[in-house]
Amino acid sequence: MSLFLLINSWNTLGSGKQGFFLLGLVSTLLLLVYILFTLFPIGEEASDGIPDARTLRVFIGLTVFGWTGFLLQVLGLHIGESSWLAGGVVLIVFFPLLRKNLKFYSRRGYRQWMTSTGNVSRWIPPHQNGYGKVYLMERGVRRELDAVTVGHELEEGAPIRVVDVIEKDKPLIVVEPLTSSARSQR
């Protein structure tokens, strides 16, 4: 009997309400699964327990858009109005984050990483024989950037210090291993 009532109430919803509800529900479930897999990794893929900021923002943005649109539809607004207002809410919530990202990649911002510390996220070959990846914290957001080293290879998870920034289309970070004496100074 309750399944019949559930199906009947779903059919009484308009297509706009159904669409926003499904978007909100699916994006909420994907967000929860993403967070769970980040906190509790399965298999060979190791995780440091910190979700990627960009992916997290996409899931949160879709979740906010879906549930806000559904709420506005329930309040009686038309689908066009609901879409515009829900999109506006997402922009208002995420505009400061978007502005922060644009500043991060500005030309004058590259040198701010000099002497910054972080960790290797993908193995870096020795003597600039290829690229690896490093994580650096910038304004509380973890950034993954391309990196090279002039010395020996650096394994994943190794602590590093930035010694130079090569400015091309996007920054290329030159790093060295962070010694225990340099860690105690920080």
pLDDT digits (tens, 9 = 90+) for 118-163: 899 999 998 888 889 998 876 667 788 889 998 889 999 899 988 8
Map tokens 């950037």 to a residue.
145
Domain boundaries, the chain: 2-104, 112-185
Tell me: pLDDT of 37 over 70: yes
Task: Say how far apart CA 110 and CA 173 lie, in whole Å.
Answer: 9
As assigned by CATH, the class of the 112-185 domain is: mainly beta
Mean pLDDT, range 170-183, rounded to an integer: 73
HSE (CB half, 13 Å, CA atoms) of 120? Answer: 22
CA-atom Rg of the chain in angstroms? 23
Task: Say how far apart CA 120 and CA 160 lie, in whole Å.
Answer: 7
**DSSP letter (8 states) at residue 134:** E
Tell me: pLDDT of 179 over 90: no
Look at residue 170 in the predicted model and tell me its pLDDT.
74
Q: In degrees, to the nearest 5, what angle opens at C-alpha 47 toward C-alphas 42 and 49?
A: 110
Q: Which of 6-15, 63-72, 84-93 has the lowest mean pLDDT?
A: 6-15
